[in-house]
Amino acid sequence: IGILDTGIDPGAIGLGSLPDHKGRKLVHVSDCTGSGDVDMSTESEAVYVQGKGWVIEKGGLFGREIVLNPALRLNPFPTAQTSKDSVGDDLVIVQDAQTRSEDENDRGNNFFEDDLTTSSPPMSTNDLTESSLPGGAPAYNVPGTKMPVRLGYKRAYELFPKKLADRVRSHHKTQFEDSQHQHAVTVRSQLSAWELKVSSSKSKKPTQEELREKEDLQARLDILEGMKFPEGDVLMEDPGPLYQLISFYDGAEYRVIVDTEGKGDLRNVPLDMALTDYYKEGKYGMFSSVDMCNYAVNLYDGGKVVSIVVDSSPHGSHVGGIAAAFFPPKEGEENEDDEGDAHGVAPGAKLVSLKIGDSRLGSMETGSALSRALIEAVKHKCDVINLSFGEGCVLPNRGRFIQLAEELVTKYGIVFVSSAGNNGPCLSTVGAPGGTSEALISVSAFVSQAMAQAMYSVRTKDSKTGEDLTAVGGSTYAWSSVGPTADGSVGVDLTAPGGAITCVPNWLLQKNQLMNGTSMSSPNVAGCIALLLSAAKAEGIKVTPARLKRAIMNSAKVMDGLSCLQQGSGMIQVAKAWEYLKNSKDDTCEDITYKVNIIDSPGQPRGVYLRQPEDVSVKQTFTVNVQALFASEDTVDIETQRKRVEFEMKFALQSTVSWVQAPDYLMLMNNGRSFKITIDPTKLDAGVHTAKILAYDSNAPESGPRFFVPITILKPLAENPSLALGKLEFAPSETKRYFLTVPKGASWMDVTIKDCRETKMDKDLSTRQLVVHTVQMLPHMAYRDAEAKRRMNLSPSQETVMSIPVHPGVTAELALARDWSAVGSPSIKVSVDFRGITVTPSTLTMLSGGGGARAQLSSNMRDEFILPSAKLTTWKTPISPVSEGLISPCDERDVLITGNKQIYQLVLTYEFEQKSSGTITPRVPALQGYLYESGFESQMMLVFDEDKRYLGAADSWPTEVNVAKGKACIRLQIRHDDVTKLEKLKDLSIWIERKLSKDIALSAYPTHNSMVASGPAFKRRSLRKGGSTTVFLKEPASSDLPTGCKCGDVLSGSTTFVDGGRNLAGLGKEPGGGFPVKFVVGNYLQKKDEKDTAAKTAELPDERSATVKMEEAIRSLKVGELNSLLEKSGDEAEAFEEVYKMFLTEYPNHIPLLMAGLKYYDHKDRREKSLSEVVDAADTVIDLVNEGDLAMHFGTSHDKEDPESCKEQKDMEEKKVFLIEALARKARAVGDISPEENGAFENALKHLSKWDTVDASNKKLAALVLQKFGKAQRLGSQLKLLNELLKNNGNDTKGGICPLTKIDLLEKRTEVLKNLNYSHLVDRNEKWKAISSPKDYAPF
């Protein structure tokens, strides 16, 4: 059984072994999402050191040495890959399901013992240490032997499920706060000692040095107690565990060791923890006892990508447990029945875990993960797969994934089971793909009285009155999705138990857990199917998905009290289904799938579904087309082709109701036939009505229908602006449905619900639970886009009003349900009042330029009071890719199962600037909002900061991503196997959406003139029924726009017009924010900078000769070119010194030239070996500046209107700048050269202090100030300055004597924290340093 879910914990109790103890239950685990992928492209070298092991020098995350177990068998990486690292090709090339031999069927899930070992046999622990290798292999355990390895790392919080990450963060927080407190106690003791020392001195006053000492201690205390770090500083956040990965090749397999502690000493790591692909050996590890999180690995692309497989929630293990858990007897017990009730449905079945819930998206599924999962299901020869995921969709039975899923079923014979969804009780709430694709088996969730008692601890009967508190025969849960699909198909095929107590991952710190949902009913059916397939294999009966689906549907038990839209064909019955399979084993027509379409209706739906008043008030005729499908359409082997030619079948057609008429018989041949049916709903009562036209094989009618035509009629109540539904009582689990004709002109409805119990009369004051759900079906929109849902707990006499947006002219369903577990019947009165106005246009758009937006209002429902209230709440910015996108093939995981088609990726890169820290939501209008029905395989966006640090992800339904101030980047991946489709999107623009920090209110006016002239605003007024009025909204002032807003940006929000006042029930105005409003930002006149309007400085006429001008221009050009070589490396850097010395002979006293030489020797790559040259070069510059003249000049003011005085001022300012830089660079060099005792550094600082401040306020001298604090052991002051510099990532030091990058600052901070012995902060800082600047972007 393949489990397409959030992943299965390989160590989960109950999922480890089989009842016969032969092999393991969990055959393979695969992270199909890519969320666990680690880039292993960093290559290094391991050297064998006698008595130590394999040593990787400074190869680790923190520049530490890594030592591996000396017994490991390291080999050179293969120069050419001779065999695939994934499952062998023989597993990919699978015959069509229709022609699979009995022998192949018998093998089933036993492939692990047979097929996989032919590619590369699993290695024993001893294999890792053997020295016998094929010819030319290296010798082992010889000192000095060098072998290649690859390195990578992964953050735990990028792997862990949110619940686990939160628990680990809480644990770390406690430890961190304890460490902070212990160090703070020490500093407070030092401060107390300082106070005592000062108070006991003669003067009772501290010296300057003592004040600096106290300031330093206070700075330390601020860090320890006040956590005074810059906003967004990494030390404020727990980086979590950081795992270092080392991969190597052992001569047969690529392997990886995960350093879970990050210390680098791995000599004692057991040999069997050098992991390879899980399916080969079944080995897995655990990160730590804190998290109790198990992991497995798979390696791809010749070991250059390692996938760490960790489940993204407990959901997947629970689903796997329902299908196939086996709990062996506890130690010392022989009776397996003790755990029998806890077993899964098919405890002998094997499992393949295919993780499709992306950890980066909080376990949301992605298109690429779904495609990979189907590929893996075929590779690992799954017989049945289960998908307990789904989404509302725009178009049922359409899209890229649906196409692949149908191929999986028809061509590869894999039965596909999926959940119907948890979005009831309204009709047409089934999700894709389970409820909307006919290739899959869709399952709703059922709860019985026995389940209520045993699992939920719910009372099922009132012990005093004997009243049944839950449905006697059971029911579907109120939230279980209900059919039909939007195109009239059934939506639900079967129902099954929707709750279970079974396996969960170890990291949850419990063995089992209760979960419920269609996610639980679906694997129940998958387990039942596994039983049937196992029996069929044992008996040699060939079973195709079509045969099996018909068997379980025709043998299902119809549950009393439930509509076919809730339960489909009914409760699955394994024994009866098995009898059906045995009885029909020789009927080859059981393998045929029948495709039913209503060909004279738009879109050729799969059933008849009528909801609108105009459709159900007349008698209609429809044309039904039926086609017989043999395997997949591209199957053209001779046997299948002959079946097509010879196919001829006689069907007896039978309508289940009198108001639907159909022909009695149909002779069907290949290529299909059509027949007409007549539906007369005119005499039906208001409500939901279902029917089917059943088609029986006229030669074997006892086997049940071979196909059917589903028909659903919703008869709405007569149109009325106010409806009283009367007093309603609810039996256990009952749902009452009302279909409302929404009048034209209505924009919302107020649903009033009043509890009928009297507070004074009724002694039972307990609340009554009620589910209220409304849905309207709109073209090309999912049900979720026009639904409202609320769970109520009603107290006696309580009255509640729900204001719900509606679309006029479209039938709305109002479903009221008593939940299955609700104790006590609700007794309520319900009324519906339609309200609202018509606004033209319905979306108001303002273009910059003062024209505003004009809204025409009319009221067709009743008199309304009008008082507009409009605001803008979000800001959208369009951005284009920095260059045309690149198209490239994806990796080995992305080759389609049919035709070996390679999937390609288009990667687009976008850059933007975040003016202040906050959240953004990336929007891709062309692709988002679609998943299963999408024409493209997938889209994924990863967000990074300017240092390539990963910040977050977004896909079909994007969520907010936190982005710090500064530059950021978004990388968008779009996938498809057709390159031409990707080519068309190579210049695709996207949008960045931000919430405004403060909403922008828009003013409303009664006339255009008053809006333009800011005249009288719109005042509250009455709009009579049938009347109309006009409102003008004024665009926002430019001063109200957010900082960074530019031409082409769009600000959006909403406006309401109705003001019902506080006396009316409900909101009294349009719910959901009202009507959309947009403002397109234009160009605005930029205000002139004060510098631009300042008076021009007086200048002397240039009286230099042409020769002098040219000589000085040439000199400036030479110095400029020389300066450009400063940042060069290699030969160009070496050329600097040669050219510099040549220029120096020509211009020995030219200070700009000497400054270039000083910067060259003081460069961070050279200064350590050139400190004396730095001092000499600085002294040369200092000697050329007459400090006396400089001091005298700046001691007097200059005449700003005298050209000669202005020229002198400019020259002197330039000399001062040169002098300060030379003195500062000299001081730094002297500090690094001279011992503390001779006072040279102190003297250099004093000299510099005459001309500039040398303290924390001077960011241009930050490197020198840090050096000064360090020499004085003012570590707290050092730390405080470093934190200040990190606020702007070191940008404040640019243009100074030593620009410091973010990494430089983090390295220096680590050094200071180590000197302070703040090991807990050192650990955080080192981890964040490693995380903050990766060499490349994280993979998709």
Residue type, 436: T
Q: Decide: 434 and 491 in contact? Cβ < 8 Å.
A: no
Picking from 328, 339, 286, 290, the residue whose alpha carbon sits closest to that of residue 310 is 286
Which alpha helices (H) appear in 64-207, and where do they start and end?
89-92, 102-107, 115-119, 162-199
Cβ atoms of 995 and 920 within 8 Å: the answer is no
Which residues, in sequence order, are CB contacts of 1164 under 8 Å at separation 6+?
A: 1298
DSSP for 1002-1069 reads: E-EESSHHHHHTT-SPP--EEE-TT-EEEEEEPPPPGGGSPTT--TT-EEEEEEEEE---TTSSS-SS
Q: Which burial class, exposed, middle or buried, applies to 668 when counting CB atoms under 10 A from its CB (0-12, 13-18, 19+)?
A: buried
d(CA 837, CA 831): 20
Measure the CA–CA gap between 211 and 214, rounded to whole angstroms. Answer: 5
Order of all β-strands in the sheet with 904-914: 886-889, 904-914, 966-976, 938-945, 950-954
Per-residue tokens: 685 = 């009562």
Q: What are the strands, taking DSSP E only, across 345-491?
A: 351-355, 357-358, 364-365, 384-387, 415-419, 441-447, 475-476
Measured CA angle at 486 (ends 481, 491), to 5 deg? 40
Contacts for 929 with CB less than 8 Å, ≥ 6 apart = 394, 956, 957
3 in Cβ contact with 320 (< 8 Å) = yes
CA 258/CA 286 separation, integer angstroms:
10
- Mapped onto helix, strand or coil, the DSSP state of residue 1121 is helix
Give the whole-angstrom CA distance, residue 1085 versus residue 914.
Answer: 23
Q: What angle do CA 162, 165, 169 make, to 5 degrees?
A: 140
For position 542, what pLDDT does the model report? Answer: 94
Phi-psi region of 622 (alpha: psi -120 to 50; beta: other; left: phi over 0): beta
Distance CA 191, CA 1337 (A): 46
- Res 1105: pLDDT: 85
Separation between Cα atoms, residue 928 and residue 924, nearest integer Å: 6
pLDDT of residue 1293: 94
pLDDT the model gives residue 105: 36
Q: Which residues of the chain have pLDDT under 70?
A: 80-140, 232, 332-340, 759-762, 1061-1066, 1085-1098, 1100, 1129-1131, 1133, 1236-1237
DSSP structural state of residue 601? S
Q: Quote the pTM value.
A: 0.89
Token pair for residue 1236? 């503390």
Q: Are the CB atoms for 307 and 278 separated by under 8 Å?
A: no
Task: Write the CA distances from 449 to 185, 357, 802, 1151, integer angstroms.
Answer: 60, 33, 32, 94
**Within 10 Å of residue 466's Cβ, how many Cβ atoms?**
7
CA distance 704 to 1193: 108
Question: In sequence order, what are the beta bridge partners of 876?
Answer: 993, 1050
Radius of gyration of the chain (CA): 38
**Per-residue pLDDT, 1172:** 92
Q: What single DSSP character describes residue 1221?
A: H
* Closest listed residue to residue 299, CA positions, set 287, 291, 307: 307
Task: Specify the pLDDT at position 1308.
Answer: 93
443-463 pLDDT tens trace: 999 999 999 998 998 888 887
What pLDDT, on a 0 to 100 scale, did the predictor assign at position 215? 93
Tell me how crowded residue 950 is: count the other CB atoms within 10 A of its CB.
16
Say whether the peptide bond before residue 841 is cis (omega within 30 degrees of 0): yes
| CA–CA dist 864, 876 (Å, integer) | 34
Give residue-wise pLDDT tens across range 1245-1279: 999 999 999 999 999 999 999 999 999 999 999 99
